[in-house]
Structure 1
């Protein structure tokens, strides 16, 4: 119980430091012209954010989320802010300080205000039902992992990887939906979707760019893909320049996942995560060329075939490579232990609450 109380205190301090740092960016850095000088002004904040998970938390959940949202997402957005490449965090009289902080820290993007239609309302209801289903599936996968550990002395590595895959797949969507709900409550503004039916991709490129973790995809596109494509366009031409841009994007994504793994496990990378993203990047570049040639012939693979192939490829490569490193450093064990400890803590507080 004391450990959880300490982490809650650390979390409160972290919120204060992050808010103070981004308030400085809002009032001071934004007054500096876009470009290298503004980047220099935000470098101290980026430096603080880089060491943040190492200094602040011992909890797996807080280490993982601070690495994901602060070290990766917030720092990428601060670089984009320095060069004026992200309209959602451009400083102008219409963006309040709270919106600026939330958009940088959380995987959210404020939607341009449009009138709400009946179809939009029905989609929101469907999304809520989907979130509930994902929460139920995540809870089932957690309990299966607990029961499996309790009743099976020697756990099959494949089963462990599959259960970890399901917890990450469903848990990340629920977690991001919680961030979005909190942001919407605080700002009162509509947000763009963070995921779009990731179980229904028509291709690997469709999965990564249109369905899975869209906020990170957009930040990678603005920070890595577009500059790389512009760099190679004079050499290869606009059409072929897309290939080094895709590869660079996937390599950077892999390296950032390695960084996250380091923050959580405090061990040097074994590079399985990077190879997972390199393989996917190579397949997406091949897919782009095949699609171009197929479209000229009027040929298109039906979703009833392409969707299971894509989902199967993502799942099998993730189980093989993406989750080997986190499981090796016992991230999955720490996750379950903290979940159980948190449930016990909440039960204890409810039992001892004054009537």
Structure 2
């Protein structure tokens, strides 16, 4: 445990030093290909840096932040496409590092209430309360599922949770809730550091009434924004003169999902260190194709005044996401033994904290 903590600190030191170089050196180079060339060594370092870690938790949650999201943000920074990363007199080094290294999206032209000493509106207060309640529910569900796995590992209980299909369902759900929890916690850490508000990453994805609604508005909006500006819009601009606006939209959607699939396969490689089996890629390809078909069907339906009621579209959408996610998205991780490794690390961390507190208490009694 202590060795992994030291490795994590070293990794963050490398990230901080690399982004300091980008802040002081790359930012002075004109936007475009020359600034991109200056950043390419950093992108290479960030791609391989998660391989220095052995903890599942750090590989799965730290790896994407640096190996994927930070790299995409640096590409936008190279071409001046992200105003929240622009270097100006009001942008501090800490702000730049946090904005790049954390999986957050800063609200444009929005200062933190702490800085401006503003009183939050009633609507904003209600929204914050709602988000807090949702966060607590996510934490509770995630904790219950972790505890169920922990009981099986520690006490070797032969329960329903050991059944492959049930374990796969519970692990998929646990990862969905755990991902939301980790993103919210990182945003909560980032906001006091940069003294600016960040946009909520998730917007009640369980209320999605279509794939367009789920992927475009509700699920992981930070990643959605990065893919939009790094993949979707450039592909659309490049292919529109060739294929026309209608078909280019679908090609750009498919390209975006393919890149997202590749990045998720990279995440799984960080964890398993094995050649991918491409289940995750197929998950995103299927969703990209289905989303393109959905847009065409909705366009035709709206012309005739047809609209599917939300009581039908909601369970169909959520059910499709859940079923395909269980089938394709997390099978690879289970085959890697990641579900067991994760819980073992939680148990080890809890025991480490208990032992540390016990030793601290014993030392305090001795010195007093």
TM-score, reference length from structure 1: 0.96
Q: Does 1:78 align with 2:78?
A: no
SS at match of 1:299: coil
Structure 1 segment 1-355 matched on structure 2, within 5 A: 4-54=1-51, 56-111=52-107, 112-113=109-110, 116-149=120-153, 150-152=156-158, 155-354=162-361, 355=364
Distance 2:68 2:4 in 1: 21
Question: Which whole-Å deviations, capped at 9, do the CAs of 1:273-311 have from their partners, x for residues lacking one?
Answer: 100100000000000101111111121111111111111
Distance 2:4 2:173 in 1: 27
Question: Which whole-Å deviations, capped at 9, do the CAs of 1:185-221 have from their partners, x for residues lacking one?
Answer: 2122111111000111010111011111111111011
Distance 2:262 2:307 in 1: 34
How far off is 1:153 after superposition? 7.6
Contact kept? 1:145, 1:163, Cα under 8 Å: no
Structure 1 residues not aligned, in runs of 5+: none
Distance 1:126 1:159 in 2: 30
Contact kept? 1:52, 1:66, Cα under 8 Å: no
Question: Which whole-Å deviations, capped at 9, do the CAs of 1:170-193 have from their partners, x for residues lacking one?
Answer: 111110111011111212211111
Distance 1:262 1:191 in 2: 29
Distance 1:92 1:242 in 2: 35
Contact kept? 2:150, 2:347, Cα under 8 Å: no
SS at match of 1:238: helix
Distance 2:152 2:219 in 1: 29
C-alpha RMSD of matched pairs (Å): 1.4
Distance 1:153 1:284 in 2: 38
Distance 2:159 2:300 in 1: 52
TM-score, reference length from structure 2: 0.92
Structure 2 residues not aligned, in runs of 5+: 112-117
Distance 1:147 1:159 in 2: 15
SS at match of 2:196: coil
SS at match of 1:33: coil
